[in-house]
Amino acid sequence: MTRIASVSLRRVLDSRGNPTVEADVLTESGGFGRAAAPSGASTGEYEAIELPPREAIAAARQHAVPRLVDEIHAGNQRDVDAALRGADGTNDFSEIGANSAVAISMAAAKAGADVLGAPLFQHLGGTFRDANRSFPVPLGNVVGGGEHAKEATHIQEFLAAPVGAPSVSEAVFANAAVHATVGDLLDERGVPAAKGDEGAWAPPIDDAEAFEVVEEATDRVADEIGFDVQFGLDVAAAELWDADAGVYRYGDVERTPDEQIDYIADLVDEYDLAYVEDPLDEDAYDGFADLTDRVGDRTLVCGDDLFVTNVERLERGINVGAANSILIKPNQIGTLSDAFDAVELAHRNGLDAVVSHRSGETEDTTIAHLAVATDAPFIKTGTVGGERTAKLNELIRIAEEAV
């Protein structure tokens, strides 16, 4: 019933105005799925390869589509993804592009769900998955800089974390309130602020002032709405790491790796951070392990560029105790099966798996379903802006069983 009848690929716009790959998968029985590849700016060195969309589409049409059409059932995700891997033939999807691969992989999952008449999160996570028993808390990017906005903070993302929210809907609206409050506070301080790639405020202030503003905003919103709103960070420290000098550079301020670990550990305690992503460079397994040893009992230390959703890199991290969570971005690795393998390996070893968007996004909502399917404690998907609210609004619908 779910045998694939056609796969169409096209270029569409992403949120930065760049082209990206969109895939349509149609099954023999009329099941339909559509999905688009997101795209990173602060990409990890070890990510699967995103090809220019025209090239990725041409290569996927030549190598992948013939292996899928009339051959594979969209409802069998592992077969779909094995066919994509077989068509590509490399470790990093450099032949057909991880952008083509992930778009087809996600579109096939949606087509499979469509045939079954099940919401995507249940098709991926099983019939007992219930978004109301435990829901992914959205981490809302409210202030940011780094590779996502020039002349703003060195730390890439300050993320509101409404950990006390009684429902996903209240969590989503809490993050929007923090975003609005940060805007008001910046205004009061006379700081002009544009927005970065993910819709977060990108003010020309230093990191210390950003901590003040975000702390005040989260406290104020928590008081108003009556539940706990903490915050977290994506330091994206690989972008700050100067390998030649052996220091992390925050503009004129330099920190050695040991100083960086002390700095982050102090921030965790001073601000009661719920979450710290990529606090160190993407090769700093031992530094990650030191930091996790120091603060891992009270915050999530998450590897994004460190693990790139890759089971081999995660395995290495597990062996040395680097991090207590992994960020899951399907396009970093190329298929949903690979992403699920990383989630399962993390869970088997007591790590949390946090699902994430990319800085370049589309209105695709697959990650909302993926977060519910995998029972993620957090989902990183921004706060405002259509490509971000697409996922947040889908989470609200999932909780209401209205998808």
Ligand X SMILES: C=C(OP(=O)(O)O)C(=O)O
Give the footprint of ligand X on this chain (CB under 6 A). Answer: 40-43, 147, 234, 236, 304, 356, 358-359
Minimum distance, C-beta of residue 356 to ligand X, in the bound complex (Å): 6
Q: Which does 358 bind (CB under 5 to 8 A by kind): Mg ion, ligand X, none?
A: ligand X
Cα 291 from Cα 288, distance rounded (Å): 5
Minimum distance, C-beta of residue 146 to ligand X, in the bound complex (Å): 8
- State which residue, 234 or 375, has the beta carbon closest to Mg ion: 234
- State which residue, 185 or 210, has the beta carbon closest to ligand X: 210
Minimum distance, C-beta of residue 42 to ligand X, in the bound complex (Å): 4
Q: Which residues fall in the annotated binding site for substrate?
A: 148, 157, 277, 304, 356-359, 380
Cα 396 from Cα 356, distance rounded (Å): 17
Please name the residues in contact with 139: beta carbons below 8 A apart, sequence gap of 6 or more.
159, 160, 161, 232, 275, 354, 378, 379, 380, 381
Q: Which of 329, 361, 387, 391 is catalytic?
A: 329
Minimum distance, C-beta of residue 351 to ligand X, in the bound complex (Å): 17
- State which residue, 57 or 238, has the beta carbon closest to Mg ion: 238
| Residue 282 designated active-site | no
Query: What does DSSP say about strands 4-13 and 137-144: parallel, antiparallel, or unpaired?
Result: unpaired
Number of residues engaging Mg ion in binding (CB under 5 A): 2
Q: Which of 47, 95, 207, 234 binds Mg ion (CB under 5 A)?
A: 234
| Residue 391 designated active-site | no
Footprint on residues 290-329 left by Mg ion (CB under 5 A): 304
What separation in angstroms does the CA of 264 have from each of 143, 214, 275, 294, 392?
18, 16, 11, 10, 29
Residue number with the smallest Cβ distance to Mg ion: 304
Q: Which does 40 bind (CB under 5 to 8 A by kind): Mg ion, ligand X, none?
A: ligand X
- State which residue, 43 or 365, has the beta carbon closest to ligand X: 43
Q: Which of 198, 361, 387, 394 is catalytic?
A: 198
Q: Give the contact letters, 157-196, x = binds to Mg ion (CB under 5 A), - = no.
A: ----------------------------------------
- State which residue, 14 or 394, has the beta carbon closest to ligand X: 14
- Beta-bridge mates of residue 161: 230
Q: Which does 101 bind (CB under 5 to 8 A by kind): ligand X, Mg ion, none?
A: none
Please name the residues in contact with 275: beta carbons below 8 A apart, sequence gap of 6 or more.
139, 159, 161, 232, 233, 299, 300, 302, 354, 378
Q: Which does 292 bind (CB under 5 to 8 A by kind): Mg ion, ligand X, none?
A: none
Q: Which does 27 bind (CB under 5 to 8 A by kind): Mg ion, ligand X, none?
A: none
Minimum distance, C-beta of residue 271 to ligand X, in the bound complex (Å): 19
- State which residue, 65 or 314, has the beta carbon closest to ligand X: 314
Q: Please give the single-letter amino acid code of residue 78.
A: R
Minimum distance, C-beta of residue 266 to Mg ion, in the bound complex (Å): 21
Cα 150 from Cα 140, distance rounded (Å): 20
Residue with tokens 């994430």: 356
Cα 151 from Cα 394, distance rounded (Å): 33
Q: Which residues fall in the annotated binding site for (2R)-2-phosphoglycerate?
A: 156, 329, 358-359, 380
Q: Please give the single-letter amino acid code of residue 71.
A: E
Q: Which residues fall in the annotated binding site?
A: 148, 156-157, 234, 277, 304, 329, 356-359, 380
Q: Which does 41 bind (CB under 5 to 8 A by kind): ligand X, Mg ion, none?
A: ligand X
Q: Residues interacting with Mg ion, by CB under 5 A? A: 234, 304
Residues with active-site annotation? 198, 329
